[in-house]
């Protein structure tokens, strides 16, 4: 079955740049999406179609795609950005949707 691979954790100091990667064989052919999830809350979309940002999401959130890897970049990290982040895509051959394992972002 199709898998998306993320690092379990990323740590940065406030004001620095955090980069979270997500790797998957089908990412060159399917869009990737990113969600932020705070404890006890449902996930919130922060990036769609690899690089697009919903209007309600701060500009410091951005996305990129380099073939089999998509990257979520948070510039000028703030304490409120501490959360779990999940990438998501789909396997059209099996009509299934896939999440990465999640990355815990810690703001030091």
Partner 1 sequence: QVHLVESGGGMVQPGKSLRLSCAASGFPFTTYGIHWVRQAPGKGLEWVAVISHDESKIYYGDSVKGRFSISRDNSKNTVFLQMDSLRTQDTATYYCTTLCTIGATGYFDYWGQGTLVTVSS
**CA-closest candidate to residue 45, choices 70, 72, 25, 66:** 72
Would you call 65 helix, strand, or coil by DSSP?
strand
- 16 or 57: CB nearest partner 1: 57
Single out the residue of 30, 62, 68, 75 in contact with partner 1 (rule: CB under 8 A). Answer: 30
Could you give the residue ranges of the DSSP H alpha helices within the chain? Answer: none
- Tell me how far, at minimum, the Cβ of 92 lies from partner 1, in Å: 4
Among 10, 86, 105, 107, binds partner 1 (CB under 8 A): 86
- The answer to whether residue 55 forms part of the interface with partner 1 (CB under 8 A) is no
Closest by Cα among 102, 18, 23, 6 to 65:
23
Rule CB under 8 A: is residue 49 a binding residue for partner 1?
A: yes
């Amino acid at each position: 079955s199709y898998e998306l691979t993320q690092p379990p954790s990323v740590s940065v100091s406030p004001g620095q740049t955090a980069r979270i990667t997500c790797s998957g064989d089908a990412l060159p052919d399917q869009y990737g999406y990113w969600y932020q999830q705070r404890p006890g809350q449902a996930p919130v979309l922060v990036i769609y179609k690899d690089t697009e940002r919903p209007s309600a999401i701060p500009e410091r959130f951005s996305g990129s795609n380099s073939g089999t890897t998509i990257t979520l970049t948070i510039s000028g990290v703030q304490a409120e950005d501490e959360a779990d982040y999940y990438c998501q895509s789909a396997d059209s051959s099996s009509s299934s949707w896939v999440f990465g394992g999640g990355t815990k972002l810690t703001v030091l």
